[in-house]
Structure 1
């Protein structure tokens, strides 16, 4: 099993380190955070190949970290010493099971452990040509990879081959699985499972007979007679049309499975994606120690995704699994404690969350856990009416909706505030809580979150006057009877009647406030939160 990865100057990562869970690793992060890069780097270090070809054949200047490239070129042009950047990917293996020949200190940490590394560096044999090339720095626009070489080494410093590594990986990405090969494999699996040998023989004979009869069809006979007389400047032989009946062209490559009377390639994307992932699992995973799955949720509804996640979990039992995802459903069902939130330099694990918080999110998959994890700034509110008011307050202050500014407003109920803040205390994402005082002193409400507000990224905002228990009386207090009547299109003569109307129709009134073209005074605690 793999225990750790270190990546230097490869794609999105300048200097990156991540410890692995021995069973399940769920990688999440914003777009371009490097989720796919980690899977690719693991596969690269274990196989020496990128996209199925040796890395030396796929080597490109665009594999290097952009900042490292920019610094190298700037140093050249400024006349400073410019060391050509190197790509290094190191995988640390479990020393208890790894072969002794992989043990050594030839790694970036300089520790005596088992592992393998890919190193892309300037080839000493080409150093004279390289120095001649960089004499004119203006012509250097990218890393000159033509002067580089790829070394695939054990931590002992010895070169290795695929057979040297005790761990094998299977990378499964439905978007890169060719449909036709999947169809063939799917059909063959069904045939092998359900047809007796004599039935397979009958199928082969029927197929061959069908193809032989093709040439005897009257229309084909007439076409071939016409073709025989056609002049050709390529060959003196007669040209005719027929179907290949040789052994290499058998029914396995021609008969197409149908699902509900539709050819396989015409069924829905979700069905195709699920089937391709499961086919790949059946075909590749049996002999693999490590399974890498790229975003299994694509094209799938919650119900179908649930079935797929269960099958992935079952089929990969006893193996080390890495899954990239943007789906809270996948995350909650496989375990929040397995989550790895990616940053530019390392991955943050949430397995240090309290056990009851982990169980909470695992059971309540409807809560959009990843919204909090992925949003750099979030505002937590108590319900849909609060969400609408906070969005209006944000737009009034900043001139745009929160989501347009990268701020996610998330509706959270009851004790769930603390669950979400458990996550925020680890991720460092900025989170503001907006909640009612429910007739309690604001300071007392805020004390309930004292364990979380010690973190500088977390703040709790509560209405100060406990006689105004919830959002509606707070809004009425801030705007007054006349202004609130105008906003809601009502003509109540007493604040008590208007307040009763607002509390009976919370979401409807909140929507009218959100949509109103009139000036609205927001309660101070809401203004503080959106600021």
Structure 2
């Protein structure tokens, strides 16, 4: 089991540190935040391979962190003598059943621990070539990986092989697979690995017998007879058509999996991905100690996702699992308490959430938990009408919707707001709550959120005047009758009547939509503008 991973200068990670748990670890983050890189780094450290090849064969300047590369080149061109950057991936393993050869202080923490390391560093054998290379710093634009070497080591400092590591990893990424001859090579590999030697022999024999059946077909006999009649014109030897069985494994590249009599390549992408992941789990869960699953939700409907998540839970058992996902459904069902929010520097655990909040999100899988986690900032509002009005207010201020600035507006009701604030408080996110005063003094209305407002990023915004308890009444107080009639295309003679119409539950969303879409200038209540300021 992996206890901790530290990454230095690999891809987007200049310095990254994350502790892992023994069960499921759900890796969540925005696009390009390093989720896939994290899974790749774990696999690389445990296998020594990248994209199926030894890392030394895949070594590229673009594997080095861009900031580290830029700092090195700038220092070089400034006349300094910087040390070339190194890539280091350290995996700290559980003490149980770890060979002594893997224990030592050769890690970034300099602690006596068991673990494995991938290190990409300058090769001393090329020191003269490197010195000659940097004589003209202006021409240096990338890391000279030609002068680097790859070391796969235990924390003892000794070289290791695949057999040295008491943990195996299996990376399952259905979306990166290319289809080939009906079935892709990955799926073929899974099927082949699932067959016993006797079954493979029987398949080969059955496939070979097809030659006799093919040649004995009356149509094929007629064609071959016609070809034989032209023997002298084409070749002096007998010329016929048949099935090529010259290769021992011909059947492996020719047999195509079918679902309900449809070739694999012709079924939907969602079904393809689901099948690949389930087949991989069925085979690899028994062989691998650590499973790495890349975005299992791709192309899947709600029902198919439900089945897949259930299978992951059932089959992974006591294995250590890392799942990278953008799906709230996957997150909620596999356990919000297993969440790791990945940034460019570290992973933050959410295991400290109140148990009731974790249980709440697990039961209400439709709630878009990830929206508050992945947004730059969030505005929590109490209903769909508030959501529309707040978005209009933001557009009036910034000439665009909040989502274009990475700010999400989420409609939550009642105590649900507190569930999201539990997440925001732990992860130090910026969240502004927009709520009605319900006829109470503002301080009294804010009191139900007082346990959260001690966090620097959380603010609560309430209409100041208790005489206007709802959003509609606050809008009515801020605007004149003509403006509201114009926006709503009404002709009320009394503002009270118009506000009563707006506040009617049957009309609230319709009126909010009219406000959202209208080109007529409108004055927004002060507390809404303050909430928008709070998330800038």
Equivalence for 2:88: 88
Q: 1:525 aligns with which of 524, 527, 534?
A: 527
Q: How many angstroms does 1:442 deviate by?
A: 1.1
Bigger mean CA offset, 443-452 vs 504-513:
443-452
Q: TM-score, normalised by structure 1?
A: 0.93
Check whether the contact 1:12–1:344 (CA below 8 A) recurs between aligned residues.
Answer: yes
Instruction: Give the Å deviation of 1:357.
Output: 0.8
Equivalence for 1:515 = 517
Instruction: Measure how far apart 1:312 and its partner are.
Output: 1.1
CA distance in 1, matches of 2:516, 2:291: 48
User: What secondary structure is seen at the aligned counterpart in 2 of 1:490?
Assistant: coil
Confirm or deny: 8 A CA contact 1:214 1:242 kept in the other structure: no
**Offset, 1:208:** 4.3
Instruction: Give the unaligned 5+ runs of structure 1.
Output: none
Pairs within 5 Å for 1:60-75: 60-75=60-75
The residue aligned with 1:383 is 383
**Equivalent residue number for residue 306 of structure 1:** 306
**In 1, Cα distance between equivalents of 2:70 and 2:465:** 56
- Relative distance call for 1:256 and 1:120 in structure 2 (3 A) is closer
Instruction: Report the secondary structure of 2:303's partner residue.
Output: helix
- 1:220 correspondence with 2:223: yes
Could you say if the C-alpha distance between residues 290 and 472 of structure 1 is closer, same or farther in structure 2, counting changes exceeding 3 Å? same
Residue 355 of structure 2: aligned partner = 355
* Offset, 1:261: 3.5
- Whole-Å separation in 2 of the counterparts to 1:187 and 1:343: 37
Is the partner of 2:480 in helix, strand or coil? helix
What whole-Å deviation, never above 9, does each CA across 1:86-114 have from its counterpart, x for those lacking one? 00000000113322221111111111111
Deviations 1:236-290 (A, max 9, x none): 7554322135683666654434323422210100000000111111222211100
Distance 1:157 1:522 in 2: 65
Q: Output one character per residue of 1:7-54: Cα deviation in whole Å (capped at 9) or x when no partner.
A: 000000000000001111000111110001111110111111111111
RMSD of aligned alpha carbons: 2.5
Residue-by-residue CA offset, 1:366-413 (whole Å, 9 max, x unaligned): 110000000011111111110100000000001111111111111111
Taking a change above 3 Å as real, the CA distance of residues 181 and 61 of structure 1, as seen in their structure-2 partners, is closer
Matched residues in 1 for 2:191 and 2:128: separation? 57
| Contact 2:85 2:121 (C-alpha < 8 Å) held by counterparts | yes
Q: Which residue is equivalent to 2:184? A: 180
Q: How does 1:323-362 map to 2 (within 5 A)?
A: 323-362=323-362
Cα deviations by residue, 1:177-204 (Å, 9 ceiling, x for unpaired):
4543455468779999xxx99x989965
Partner of 2:44: 44
Matched pairs, number: 525
Measured after TM superposition, the shift of residue 438 of structure 1 is 1.2
Assess, with a 3 A threshold, how the Cα gap between structure 1 residues 247 and 101 changes in structure 2: closer, same or farther.
Answer: closer
TM-score by length of 2: 0.93
- In the other structure, the counterpart of 2:267 is 267
Distance across 2 between alignment mates of 1:317 and 1:45: 23
1:112 is matched with 112
Report the alpha carbon displacement of residue 500 of structure 1 after superposing the two structures with TM: 2.4
Give the distance between the partners of 1:524 and 1:154, measured in 2 at CA: 61
Residue 433 of structure 1 aligns to a residue whose secondary structure is strand
CA contact (8 A) 1:384 1:411 kept: yes
The alpha-carbon distance between structure 1 residues 94 and 131, as it changes in their structure 2 partners (threshold 3 A), is same
Residue correspondence of structure 1 range 231-250 to structure 2 within 5 A: 237=237, 239-245=239-245, 248=248
Counterpart for residue 35 of structure 2: 35
